[in-house]
Structure 1
Amino acid sequence: MSEWGTFEDETPAEGPAESEESWGSFTDASTQPGPAQPTPPPAAPPAGVPTPSPEVVASLLKAGETLWAQVDGTVGVLGSGAKVTAVYDDGPDGFSGWRPVTVLDPGALTVRPVPLALAEPPMGAATSVAELYADTEPLDDTEPRRPAPFPVGQGPDLDALLDRAVEEERARARAEAAASARRAEAELAAQRRELADRAEAVERQARLREERAQDEVRRAQDEAARQVAAVRDDAQRQVTAARDEVAQVVQQWQFRAQQAESERSRLSEELNRANRASVQRLVLVGVLAVIAVVLAVVLK
């Protein structure tokens, strides 16, 4: 019973409805002798798949788009399990099952089922199936089909055909060779230009590197000259300071030598005076001794 739909004039009044699921059925309720049979609910999505909320479904729908839904009267269910409201222009047409619907208002979840074309097309509006698949050239059953005899001496000149084919192949080979030569020349010219560009770029980079190296050398020379000048100035300052210190020491030693010389002179003079004083005392003692002797002699 798995089919898109069935078009029946009436539904059996007795017995339960078919348990197998079908794509849809078209029934005429006015011809049913008994009460209307209950319609099975639309199929739910597979187990484990959650039904999206109406807000999510409304955000995904667009007004005017056409999609499939399982419609039963004014109730429709999309493939995701979301329910929509079916609106008809002239009332339900009695078809229950899967059918295309057009979205009217995504926010309100309202759709309009696409009308089903059930009438026969008018004559001449379409081509019949028999005419579509008819053989345009029917076989002639009166005579059996036999192959014709080999056309001896008929047909074109094979030598001319071979010569023409050889000439065409030669022309094609020449054209291909010329095209290959042109492509090779173009590729060679492109490679030469690329090599020239690369050589120019390498030369430009080499010049830049050389200029940077020269700048580095000049900066190093300037730095060395500044360092040498600083060392020379420092050495000059140290030499000057050493000379000044030596001069001060020499002056101090000269001053001390002068003081020592003056002290020596003073001591020499004092020694001389002491010597003279001792000589004088000796002379005086000698004279006193002589006088004493003379007095002693005289007194005796």
Structure 2
Amino acid sequence: MSDWGSFVDETPPERPHEPRQAAYPSGSATGADWGAFVDDVHEPPGPRTPQSPPPAASPAGAPTPAPEVVASLLEAGETLWAQVDGTVAVLGSGCAVTAVYDAGPDGFSGWRPVTVLDPAALTVRPVPLSLAEPSPGAATSVAELYSDTESPDDAWPRRAAPFPVGQGPDVEALLSRAAEEERARVRAEAAVAAQRAEAELAAARRESAERAETAERHARAREERAQEEVRRAGEAAARQVAEVRAESQRQVAAARDEVAQAVQQWQYRAQQAEGERTRLAEELNRANRASLQRLVLVGVLAVIAVVLTVVLKGS
């Protein structure tokens, strides 16, 4: 613990077989850059002008980001760490910003928290450092905080104590209790599984009964629909038969009427033909009588002519 937060004239002791490491990062020139006070034994940093900013704190080989990029990442009121030297501060990325104080620089340089004032202007305000001694009991004293509470013997490895034979609980009782608990757990799980299986079986039976009832209801509905269709088909067939029978009767009646009308027409035509035959027979008789009369008249005229001829020749 003495390596951290060392004060003036404090040098951490070197441990054997361990290389001495610097108490400050490789990016800074001296250890005075880390929280150095005014009366530090190291050479205090002199006042620097804004044209000569402190060394960049960016990792080795990493390029320093542009101020515009840093300004876009900062937020007003944000508190972060920076390496402050007067009015110049360098962020951890290596970007230099302007440190603004309320009443001038306080004389503390090195890494310290700062509050961002204006991200666009890259201005920060160093957080004031309190140098007053805290009241007793308000905090841990510096001597107690940085005291080495570990004894030199604690650095050596400790060996485990031998196995406590005959001490501790009864292993057989533990195993028996664990076996009984496992049996009880298995029985409980089996009971729960049996209850679950019974519930699932009851649900399956209910579902099967509901499905059977639904299927029976659907079958009855289909049977009723089929009977209704058969009845409708019978009624339709009866109507068709009646219609066919009525149509056939109508056609037969129409045929009979047509035959009767034809017979009547034939009878009328036969009567007309008989009357025409009678008329023709009468006309034939009249013609025969007329022709006979003509023949008699012609014979008489011929006789008269002959007689006249004879008479005329005799005279």
TM-score computed with the length of structure 1 as normaliser: 0.47
The structure with the largest alpha-carbon Rg is 2
